[in-house]
Amino acid sequence: MPTPSRVVVVPQELGKPLEVLDCVLPDPGPHEVVVKQYASGICHSQLHTIHSPRTQAQILGHESTGVITATGRAVLGLAVGDTVMVTWVPKDRHHARREGELMTLELPDGRRAESRNVFTWATHTLADEMFVVKVPADIDRETTAIIGCAVITGAGAVLHTAAVQPGDSVAIFGAGGVGLSAVAAARKCGADPIIVVDLSEEKLDFARQFGATHGVNASEVDPVAAIRELTVQPGRYDILRQPLRGVDFAFDCIGAPVTMGQIAKCIRSGEFGQSRGGVAVLVGVPQTSLELDSRFLFIGERSYRASLGGSCVPAEDLPRFLDWYASGDLDLDALVTRRYGIDDIGEAVVDLEHGRIAGRSILVFD
């Protein structure tokens, strides 16, 4: 039977405030489930949708925890009563190779709102089973809500996209929820040093709780120069017979034009005749194109790589990160710093836009 839900809607018209509407979700389709949600992460990437031109109203959110209340007739491995996480990445190869559909929702006034895959800024959501992973019933219902985006994106970039090894040096630009998840994963992988770059001394101090060994305040110094100064390797030389400088891996967890370029400049050259150079990894959602110095990349055998969703397989990685949380390797209790009710979503977005959130904020539903 149809399910009542309170849903956050971004109007089609730019500049209009977010709406919280009483909607009715239809019965789930063959591969869909209805999830009564406990909590949802508030992701910085949602700001791009809010401030970008659109042809239709939008429904947002792509990480949550909840319990299944209804299933479609063709759903496999999920049942009513299951505790689940909702994410935005297909959970395994089988589901990734099944064509999904654009998620649309009819609003009370006859408008239609849409989402590319899921929407979790709602008390109840309708989602394709490909984005829903069963998890133990005794999970923390609130803090674990951020695993489905912030954690898989940041930690996954370190663990999977870059495959950081013990002793590798890393630089992480951005100390938000994604960046701090990357820091925690770098510590788990045995990286050293772990250099975090941000514009706020407070956020740099916060990053040390998650494993940062050095903080670089980009509002005070050139972060590229600072990183290269911290990572000189005497006795190892590039093609110009200069000592190697720079990190093995640099991660941009912001996606701003300046940081996209900076990560390419702070990775080390390869040791000429002995090894390849460092890897720059773009993790944050970019909003502009990027021009790279191809000669700089070429003569040092450096690489530039993108990481979408941390190259994660949610069916495998969500349980993995729950284990990290249980073991103390991923401090979600510290990472989630603000909680809001659904009616406070406007305030939550403003706080995020103005840099008032350390770590990650979440919506908590009754």
pLDDT tens readout for residues 146-178:
999 999 999 999 999 999 999 999 999 999 999
Whether 211 and 167 map to the same domain: the answer is yes
User: Strand, coil or helix: what is 207?
Assistant: helix
- The answer to the question of residue 86 being in a domain is yes
Whether 131 and 265 map to the same domain: the answer is no
Q: Report the share of the chain in percent with pLDDT over 90.
A: 93
Q: How confident is the model at residue 120 (pLDDT cuts 50, 70, 90)?
A: very high
Mean pLDDT of the chain: 96
Token pair of 115, please?
């989402």
- The answer to the question of residue 69 being in a domain is yes
Cα(350)–Cα(361) distance, integer angstroms: 12
| Among the listed residues 215, 227, 308, 311, the one whose alpha carbon sits nearest the alpha carbon of residue 264 | 227
Average pLDDT over residues 308-330: 97
Q: Report the share of the chain in percent with pLDDT over 70.
A: 100
- Residue 226: pLDDT over 80: yes
pLDDT at 366: 80
CA 64, 155, 320, 33 dihedral sign is positive
Give the pLDDT confidence of 254-306 residue by residue, as tens digits: 999 999 999 999 999 999 989 999 999 999 999 889 999 999 999 999 999 99
Where helices occur in the chain by DSSP H, the ranges are 46-50, 93-96, 150-156, 177-189, 201-208, 223-230, 257-265, 294-299, 314-327, 332-335, 345-353
Whether 78 and 182 map to the same domain: the answer is no
- 93-96: list long-range contacts, CB under 8 Å, 24+ apart: 93/313, 95/129, 95/130, 96/130
Whether 281 and 161 map to the same domain: the answer is yes
- Residue 1: pLDDT over 80: no
Least confident of 285-294, 312-321, 336-345: 285-294
Cα(270)–Cα(274) distance, integer angstroms: 7
- The answer to the question of residue 321 being in a domain is no
Whether 263 and 119 map to the same domain: the answer is no
Whether 230 and 345 map to the same domain: the answer is no
pLDDT at 287: 84
Residue for token pair 């959110």: 61
Cα(273)–Cα(206) distance, integer angstroms: 40
- The answer to the question of residue 222 being in a domain is yes
| Among the listed residues 338, 262, 312, the one whose alpha carbon sits nearest the alpha carbon of residue 149 | 312
- The answer to the question of residue 237 being in a domain is yes
For strands 103-106 and 112-115, give the pairing: antiparallel
Average pLDDT over residues 344-348: 97
Q: Residue 82 maps to which CATH number?
A: 3.90.180.10
> How many domains does the chain contain in total?
2
Whether 205 and 270 map to the same domain: the answer is yes
Whether 20 and 160 map to the same domain: the answer is no
- The answer to the question of residue 299 being in a domain is yes
Q: How confident is the model at residue 55 (pLDDT cuts 50, 70, 90)?
A: very high
Q: How confident is the model at residue 328 (pLDDT cuts 50, 70, 90)?
A: very high
pLDDT at 31: 95
Whether 64 and 102 map to the same domain: the answer is yes
Cα(317)–Cα(311) distance, integer angstroms: 10
Structural domain boundaries enclosing 222 = 151-309
- The answer to the question of residue 317 being in a domain is no
Beta-sheet strands, E only, within the chain: 3-10, 19-25, 32-42, 57-59, 64-71, 83-86, 103-106, 112-115, 124-128, 132-134, 170-173, 194-198, 214-217, 233-237, 243-244, 249-252, 279-282, 303-306, 336-340, 360-364
* Angle CA 66–21–82, to nearest 5: 15
pLDDT at 292: 92
Residue for token pair 């021009």: 291
Whether 230 and 355 map to the same domain: the answer is no
Whether 7 and 91 map to the same domain: the answer is yes
- φ, ψ (nearest 5 deg) of residue 307: -130, 115
Average pLDDT over residues 39-61: 94
Whether 165 and 126 map to the same domain: the answer is no
Q: How confident is the model at residue 101 (pLDDT cuts 50, 70, 90)?
A: confident
- The answer to the question of residue 315 being in a domain is no
Average pLDDT over residues 111-125: 95
Average pLDDT over residues 239-261: 96
Q: Residue 304 maps to which CATH number?
A: 3.40.50.720
Burial (CB count <10 Å: 0-12, 13-18, 19+), residue 138: exposed
